[in-house]
């Protein structure tokens, strides 16, 4: 019951219609399968695109995106029998039925990542293993179970070539060939609190950018980063060492604290020292000469001055300090002018 409640919490916002009617016997669904590439390296997530098109005359219940694991993926080595691959997270229940209405003539697209089986099974051969577990040519097809009677609609069959890792790929594969890391690559999050996996991913993105695994590792880091941001907030995240490492590894620009975050000139460090009270006009002249960014003072601000010990900070942080609570910065030519805040009415 707990799993069902958790799943509903994540999926409820995506549900357009919870179908209460049954698809008629003459309902027709056309399912098409494609892959983003014809060849992958062993252990690289295989990216599949499934398109379900309603070619019948009645609306049907299509699985919402969060339940795309209901689509059955079947794999076979060339010349061998197809077997179903179960790639759903191990906390998922197949008993949850949430669908949205798919009208005649409309289609719905699903993006699947096929890499590993994580769910426990009574069949020892099917426990915890790679989906494409050996180099060679593989055949792939999917079956779409139409809700609620789960009538199956089968797709076309495609061929995927799996290559053995060599060179840089072999070195990376040796480090990531662990169930916990492969889980991270497939879903974009770790099972439980597992910072070692995330740190390993950040290290590999920077150390082996030429690796075939690089896009998948970067994708997983991005998913993890944005999920954490949504939980703790952007500014708090910037003080988190783990997220700072990810941000640097995958090139996400840091959100600036202070005025005009889009002006990256204000990120530069400046050093200043005003041991005596100095008029702000003179202070701004010194800072402008040092930074190359023109700062000026509105004529309506009179008698303002400041003093400071020797300090180094970003130009943006200096501007924030100089503005205080009674003034604000506005664009002025190629630089900025400090103006008084309007008095409250």
Same domain, 114 and 200: no
As separate numbers, helices (DSSP H) first and strands (DSSP E) second, the chain gives 9, 18
Whether residue 148 has a cis bond before it, omega within 30° of 0: yes
3-state secondary structure of 239: coil
Same domain, 185 and 294: no
State whether the Cα torsion 111-115-117-118 is positive or negative.
negative
Residue 319 lies in a domain: yes
The region of weakest confidence among 5-9, 82-86, 329-333 is 5-9
Q: Where are the beta strands (DSSP E) in 251-334?
A: 269-279, 295-297, 305-314, 327-332
Most distant pair of Cα atoms in the chain: their distance: 88
Q: Name the residue range of residue 276's domain.
A: 264-340
Residue 345 lies in a domain: no
Q: Which pLDDT score is estimated for 87?
A: 82
DSSP code, position 325 = T
Same domain, 91 and 176: no
Residue 172 lies in a domain: yes
- The residue-averaged pLDDT of 300-329 equals 88
Kindly report, residue by residue over 47-59, the tens digit of the pLDDT.
Answer: 999 999 999 999 9
Same domain, 107 and 172: no
Same domain, 212 and 97: no
How does DSSP assign 31-75, residue by residue? Answer: EEEEES-SEEETTSPEEEEEEEEE-SSS-EEEEPGGGGGGSEEEE
Residue 258 lies in a domain: no
Domain boundary among 148, 163, 178: 163
Q: pTM of the full predicted structure? A: 0.65
Same domain, 139 and 101: yes
**What CATH number is given to the structural domain containing 277?**
3.55.50.60
How many domains does the chain divide into? 3
Name which of 289, 225, 295 is nearest 259 in CA terms. 295
Same domain, 10 and 159: yes
């Amino acid at each position: 019951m707990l799993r069902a409640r958790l799943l509903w919490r994540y999926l409820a916002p995506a549900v357009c219609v919870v179908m209460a009617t049954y698809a008629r016997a003459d309902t027709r669904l056309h399912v098409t399968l494609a892959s983003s590439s014809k060849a992958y390296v062993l252990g690289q997530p295989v990216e599949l695109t499934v398109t379900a098109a309603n070619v019948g005359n009645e609306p049907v219940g299509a699985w919402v995106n969060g339940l795309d694991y209901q689509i059955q993926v079947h794999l076979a080595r060339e010349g061998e029998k197809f077997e179903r691959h179960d790639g759903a997270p191990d906390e998922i229940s197949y008993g949850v039925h949430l669908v949205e209405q798919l009208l005649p003539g409309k289609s719905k697209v699903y993006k699947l990542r096929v890499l590993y089986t994580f769910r426990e099974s009574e069949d020892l051969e099917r426990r915890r293993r790679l989906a494409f577990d050996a180099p060679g040519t593989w055949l792939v097809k999917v079956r779409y179970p139409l809700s609620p009677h789960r009538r199956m609609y089968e797709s076309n069959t495609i061929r995927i070539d799996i290559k053995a890792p060599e060179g840089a790929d072999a070195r990376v594969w040796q480090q990531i060939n662990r169930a916990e890391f492969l889980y991270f690559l497939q879903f974009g999050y770790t099972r439980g609190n597992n910072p070692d996996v995330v740190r390993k991913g950040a290290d590999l993105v920077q150390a082996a950018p030429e690796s075939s695994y690089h896009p998948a590792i970067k994708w997983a880091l991005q998913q993890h980063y944005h999920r954490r941001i949504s939980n703790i907030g952007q500014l708090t995240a910037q003080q988190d060492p783990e997220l700072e490492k990810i941000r640097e590894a995958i090139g996400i620009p840091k959100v600036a604290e202070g005025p005009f975050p889009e002006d990256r000139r204000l990120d530069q460090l400046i050093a200043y020292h005003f041991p005596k009270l100095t008029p702000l006009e003179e202070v701004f002249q010194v800072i402008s000469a040092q930074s190359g960014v023109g700062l000026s003072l509105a004529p309506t601000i009179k008698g303002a001055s400041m003093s400071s010990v020797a300090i180094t900070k970003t130009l943006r942080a200096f501007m924030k300090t100089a503005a205080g609570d009674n003034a604000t910065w506005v664009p002025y030519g190629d630089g900025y002018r400090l103006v008084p805040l309007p008095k409250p009415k």
